[in-house]
Amino acid sequence: MPWKRQRRVPRLAAALNIEDLRRLMQRRVPHFAFEYVEGGAEDEATLRSNRAALERLRLLPRTLVDTRARSVRTQLFGRALPAPFLIAPTGFNGMLHADGDVALARAAAAAGIPFTLSTFSTTRLEDVASRAGGRLWMQLYVLTDRAIARELVRRAAAAGYEALVFTTDANVFGSREWDRRSYRAPGRLHLRTALDVLRHPGWLAPLVRTGLPRLRNLEGLLAPEATTALGGSTLIPKFVDASISWDDVKWMREQWRGKLLVKGILDPADAERAVALGCDGLVLSNHGGRQLDYCVAPIEVLPDIVRAVGSRTTLIVDSGFRRGTDVAKALALGARAVMLGRATLYGLGAGGEPGVRHALSLLTTELDRVLGELGCRSLDELDPGRVRSTTAPEFPPPG
């Protein structure tokens, strides 16, 4: 057995990196909830290649540079950003922590970075705004009933959300076989899965007090059985709309006065079209490996999209980021910021809001250190010349 598998799972304060938080979450939440966060589509080739693509990139340092006054601060849409991070939209967060969406939003607010709330959140968007504050963005899925999208856009504007993030790569829901194995029917856990839940009393106790998490933004808009987060991931696919098109982007640009971003862009031609329609930013994403298997990694196409539209829009990238070195590579290749999904969810599952804060602190500290080791005093000094590509073989996943 590899040495890393034998290491004792640390307490939150002793977690030295995102992988430590991952192992801590794995111990603290039921297996079905861990699988929901951890898994990818089908063979999980995209999931693995997201990491492999980042690992194939090497950094080129320059020496004898005074970096004592270095800073990881930047700007995003004209506003200061203490570190080049955003928390990505993730659904069903109540499966990891009873108050998961608010915990993530509060940690983001404390760090001064934006938090993106999912359409499939287990807390109402208005409640996140009132309880957490900070820079709030709203992610939008367009479902088969278009009235739901119109209502969510209206509510997000009324609640003061500053940006709308339209997810475009879930027009057909990915095949997540690991998730379906946990359920004998939509919303009904297999006996072995239910028994495993009983082995995690610390996770279960808050649910006994508050009840099972539900997709609160969609209550009254979908059938009650479809809004139960426990089984929502097996029920939601039938509501996903395969007919979404560029006309929906046009409609959102007409309706939404705040910043509009399109998430799921990987092709330069799509990037060109989104910019032409007035989008303020693009999120290069393959949905963390949860949609199309054997898909390119966002970091692989980032240089092509920078060449196509980089001077005309704001580029954000996600999928597979676990280390400050990963972030430095993306910024050097032209991204303005990185969206963090699993990295902050590991913190959430490991220790609620303090766990998320710890994850953000770890990555900020790592990025600051990497900046100094590269001989850079600011993020603006990161450029493509700092990155080299290698054909090194893929590394086995840690842990």
> pLDDT at residue 3 above 50?
no
In whole angstroms, what is the distance from residue 232 CA to residue 250 CA? 29
- Please say whether the dihedral angle defined by the alpha carbons of residues 262, 266, 270 and 271, taken in this order, is positive or negative: positive
Catalytic residue positions, numbered? 287
pLDDT at 129: 98
Q: What is the CATH number of domain 3-176+237-382?
A: 3.20.20.70
pLDDT at 395: 45
Mean pLDDT of 258-281: 98
- Encoded tokens for 287: 């949905």
Please state the φ and ψ torsions of residue 322, each to the nearest 5 degrees. Answer: -130, -15
Mean pLDDT of 136-159: 94
Burial class (CB in 10 A: 0-12, 13-18, 19+), 3: exposed
Residue count of the chain, please give it: 399
pLDDT at 221: 82
Furthest-apart CA pair in the chain: how many Å?
63
Q: Which residue has the higher pLDDT, 184 or 346?
A: 346
pLDDT at 1: 36
pLDDT at 285: 98
To the nearest whole percent, how much of the chain has pLDDT over 70?
Answer: 92
pLDDT at 392: 53
pLDDT at 212: 79
DSSP element (H, E) containing 119: none
188-189 and 183-185 beta bridge pairing: antiparallel
E strand intervals along the chain: 57-59, 74-76, 79-81, 85-87, 115-117, 136-140, 163-167, 183-185, 188-189, 259-265, 281-284, 314-317, 337-340, 387-389
> pLDDT at residue 4 above 50?
no
Q: Which residue has the higher pLDDT, 75 or 197?
A: 75
What is the CB neighbour count within 10 angstroms for residue 216? Answer: 20
Mean pLDDT of 249-266: 96
Which 8-state DSSP code applies to residue 369? H
What does pLDDT average to over the chain? 91
> pLDDT at residue 279 above 70?
yes
Mean pLDDT of 94-98: 91
pLDDT at 237: 74
> pLDDT at residue 180 above 90?
no
Which among 36, 39, 40, 6 has a CA at the least distance from the CA of 23? 6
CA distances from 88 to 50, 59, 185, 201 (A): 16, 26, 29, 28
Of the listed ranges 52-66, 206-220, 229-243, 321-335, the least confidently predicted one is 229-243
91-113 CB burial, b ≥16 within 10 A, e <16: bbbbbbbbbbbbbbbbbbbebbb
To the nearest whole percent, how much of the chain has pLDDT over 90?
Answer: 74
pLDDT at 130: 98
pLDDT-derived band at 241 (thresholds 50, 70, 90) equals: confident
Please state the φ and ψ torsions of residue 165, each to the nearest 5 degrees. Answer: -115, 110
pLDDT at 186: 65
pLDDT at 231: 58
pLDDT at 348: 98
Mean pLDDT of 286-304: 97
pLDDT at 393: 47
pLDDT in tens, 347-399: 999 999 999 999 999 999 999 999 999 999 999 999 999 999 987 545 455 44
pLDDT at 75: 97
